[in-house]
Amino acid sequence: MTLPVTPSFRLDGRRAVVTGAGRGIGLASAAALAEAGADVTLVARSLDEIQAAAAEIVAAGGRAVAARLDVTDLSAVAWFFAERPAFDILVNNAGTNRPMSMIDVAEADFDAVLDLNLKSSFFVAQAVVRRMIEDGVPGSLIHMGSQMGHVGGINRSLYCASKWGLEGMNKAFALDLAQHRIRSNTIAPTFIETPLTRPYFEDGAFRSGVLEKIKLGRLGQVTDLMGAVLFLASDASAMMTGTSLIVDGGWTAD
């Protein structure tokens, strides 16, 4: 009898790029990929944070560089990826939120959230994919979605619109790119405690409402997403495309 061998979670020899990599989920994603052996490029608008993060990854024995890029500048995005060899892995993580009732949303709010969360994600993926195809590189696109791309939420009309859009975009990407051996999936986290979200939890009523929905009874941490990122980046998920890994502590099971 010959036992099957578990596909490797190692990423040695692969090149990964993470947007919004200076803190929170992006930083954790970059650290996870580097720990698995990937050569990681950390991208963000603020160079200081990603330089510090890359230095920490290198000090821990990984391979990482920092590169400043504003992903809302689409001409800069096209140039950035055209000037580099193809990446094997994209973590499409840059995003924002402006919680408010739909009654209060102004056009500027709509544009700020949808342009970054959806439009920029689309064109970053397009630029990465074009170079993958040009260089004949199969790969994995990982888009950071949200449980709010699967449900609704009070004061979350903009965020839900962007993340539901991301889910649909992801499924269409998977169909377009399968012939090129490029996979596309999302990760859909619940509320994760990060520098961006931490101020929200200072509101006791808001925190209690969130914890009531998370059946495991605690806020998510960035470490709760690192395994999901690694899984989707690696050969362990080789037959997965066009789907979403929901990491929500049971929120959407109710």
Going from the C-alpha of 154 to that of each of 80, 97, 106, 162, 209, the distances in angstroms are 37, 13, 17, 15, 11
Active site residue 200: no
Q: Report the SS3 class of residue 108.
A: helix
Catalytic-role residue among 81, 159, 164, 251: 159
In order, the DSSP letters of 179-230 are GGTEEEEEEEE--B--TTTGGGGGSHHHHHHHHHH-TTSS-B-THHHHHHHH
Q: From CA 52, how far away is CA 63, in angstroms rounded?
A: 13
Q: From CA 46, how far away is CA 68, in angstroms rounded?
A: 7
β-strand pairing of 89-92 with 63-68: unpaired
Q: What's phi and psi for 111, nearest 5 deg?
A: -65, -40
Residues catalogued as catalytic: 159
